[in-house]
Amino acid sequence: MAIEVAGLTKKFGSATAVDAVNFSIPGGSATALLGPNGAGKTTTLAMLLGLMTPTSGSIRVLGTDMLRHRYAVLQRMNYASPYIDLPQRLTVRENLTVYGRLYGVRQLARRIDRLAGELELGILIDRPYRELSAGQRTRVALAKALINEPELLLLDEPTASLDPDTGDRIRGWLEAYRARTGATLLLASHNMPEVERLCDRVLMMRAGRIVDDGTPGGLATRYGRRNLEEVFLDVARHV
């Protein structure tokens, strides 16, 4: 299993953000965490990454206990999110160099050149990050997330606020990366077509709990809906 979570709970004072969540994600799969705002998706991802300590529960990532030995596994995973950013005044190449070194990437210059080619960053590579558009920044964030060729890639709303063309390209790159490396993908998203295209499994969250689990098509059938978006509305509105 790439991820095994048991009884995962996060409380902020009297508020429970994540409530005794259990799930396992097999290696090589692509899974989406779906749910309305405040459902606990980002908090769950943050705990999986070691950015946040759980109130209780256990997390195993790539066979390692994340609560005790997270540094043993952080080198093998990576993360991208629109809620965090990269140093604004550094160029794209400088940012990727810093992160490549942090992850101990070998033959870093070659790796950066390859990513720049794959993600069409060639003409941006020596420009300061702050001068880039939202779509270009998302590509750079994805390059940073792929710099160490992670076995496990966690993405929080990877195409939020992007135009359809850029969003489609990002989804294409993610599909190609997964096909090439067999990496495990876990993403939180509000974009239902994106989830239907990228993921073979969906964990539906509401009020900190996993309320359903299935394939995108299976969930639509079970709820008697035409697509995942309608299922999402049912779950979000407690139908």
Q: Does 125 bind other proteins (CB under 8 A)?
A: no
Q: Do residues 155 and 185 lie in contact, with contact meaning Cβ atoms separated by under 8 Å? A: yes
Q: Does 99 bind other proteins (CB under 8 A)?
A: yes
Residues 6+ apart with CB under 8 A from 88: 128, 129, 130
- Contact pick of 20, 90, 125, 207 for other proteins (by CB under 8 A): 90
Count of C-beta atoms within a 10 Å radius of residue 3: 22
**Nearest to other proteins of 42, 189 (CB atom):** 42
Query: Of residues 45-74, which lie at the interface with other proteins (CB under 8 A)?
Result: 46, 49-53, 71, 74
Q: Do residues 9 and 20 lie in contact, with contact meaning Cβ atoms separated by under 8 Å? A: yes
Q: Residue 164 CB, nearest distance to other proteins (Å)?
A: 26
Count of C-beta atoms within a 10 Å radius of residue 60: 17
Between β-strands 30-34 and 15-25, what pairing exists: parallel, antiparallel or unpaired?
unpaired
DSSP category for residue 167:
H
* Phi, psi angle pair for 10, to nearest 5°: -135, 120
Q: Residue 97 CB, nearest distance to other proteins (Å)?
A: 7
Q: Do residues 157 and 3 lie in contact, with contact meaning Cβ atoms separated by under 8 Å? A: no
Q: Does 77 bind other proteins (CB under 8 A)?
A: yes
Q: Residue 77 CB, nearest distance to other proteins (Å)?
A: 8
Residue count, binding to other proteins (CB under 8 A):
35
**Nearest to other proteins of 100, 216 (CB atom):** 100
Q: Residue 176 CB, nearest distance to other proteins (Å)?
A: 23
* Binding map of other proteins across residues 4-33, x = CB under 8 A, - = no contact: --------x---------------------
Report the distance separating Cα 171 and Cα 159, nearest Å. Answer: 8
Residue 91 pairs in a beta bridge with 128
**Nearest to other proteins of 151, 212 (CB atom):** 151
Which residues contact other proteins (rule: CB under 8 A)? 12, 42-43, 46, 49-53, 71, 74-75, 77-79, 81, 83-91, 94, 97-99, 101-104, 128, 144
